[in-house]
Amino acid sequence: MLLVGLPLLGLIVRTPWGRIGEVLTSDTALTALRLSLVVATTAAAISFVLGFPLAWLLVRSPFPGKTFVRALVVLPLVMPPVVAGVGLLAAFGRRGIAGSWLYDWFGFQLTFTTGAAVLAASFVSFPLAVLALEAGLRGLDVRLEDAASTLGASRWYVMRRVTLPLMAPQIAAALVLSWARALGEFGATITFAGNLQGRTQTLPLAVFERLQSDQDAAFAISMLLIAIAFAVIIGLRGRFLR
């Protein structure tokens, strides 16, 4: 308890409550907040759209190398985020294996763009979406789907009216978990996307930059992130402890 509680208590004590309104309505904070919301939501959406089919395959389709695929999916979770950033550079940077092709043929560079921030956030939040969706699919009572099919429902109808509604709690958990992880991403973002207000400076990057010279502002923005984290935890409370 102390391990988790003390840092939180420290933050609450050190936050300049008198200045908090001024800091959180500043250009830096508002821009970072707006950007963070856009990046995290887009990343969560990408993680879901790509993660659902993969979770489906992992649970319902036998194919060789499944263990390997699952290990690969979990990799971004256990990888240090800065390493993830370096990996993204190696793949999508201007001299990267895919990036150099993009640059030479289309003149397009992914680094230093908001897209890069979204990619970094998606990379680290994708495993969470897959794991949560996998858990949801595994927990389904397949007989319900079978019953619907025998009653004449098409596969798409079964998916839409039986599977997804039954999985709704796990889908919500997948979205919220990946969104929260995407929101908090720092190492991969600063390494791969860079740090520019309005384009790539998400809330964690703004905290880091403020920390160098205006600690009060850093604490204030940190409190904002903590508040969002609490909202997530409370929102998920019903889903988890069922």
Q: Which of 179, 210, 177, 180 is nearest to 28 (CA)?
A: 210
Q: Which of 5/152 has CB closer to another protein?
A: 5
Least Cβ distance, residue 68 to another protein (angstroms):
19
Least Cβ distance, residue 90 to another protein (angstroms):
10
Amino acid at 123: F
**Other beta carbons less than 10 A from residue 69's beta carbon:** 15
Least Cβ distance, residue 226 to another protein (angstroms):
13
Q: Which of 156/240 has CB closer to another protein?
A: 240
In contact, 180 and 39? CB cutoff 8 Å: no
Q: Which of 80/157 has CB closer to another protein?
A: 80
What is the end-to-end Cα distance of the chain in Å, rounded?
23
Q: What is the DSSP letter of 201?
A: -
Least Cβ distance, residue 139 to another protein (angstroms):
4
Q: Which of 154/198 has CB closer to another protein?
A: 198
**Other beta carbons less than 10 A from residue 242's beta carbon:** 6
Q: Which of 155/238 has CB closer to another protein?
A: 238
Least Cβ distance, residue 150 to another protein (angstroms):
26
**Count of alpha carbons within 13 Å of 207, Cβ hemisphere only?**
20
Amino acid at 83: V
Q: Which of 20/103 has CB closer to another protein?
A: 103
Torsion of CA 14, 6, 226, 181, to 10 degrees: 140
Least Cβ distance, residue 113 to another protein (angstroms):
8
Q: Which residues bind another protein (CB under 8 A)?
A: 74, 77-82, 89, 93-95, 109, 111-112, 124, 127-128, 131-132, 134-136, 138-139, 170, 173, 177, 180-181, 184-187, 190, 194-197, 199-201, 204, 208-209, 211-213, 215, 240, 242
Measured distance CA(203)–CA(43) in Å, rounded: 15
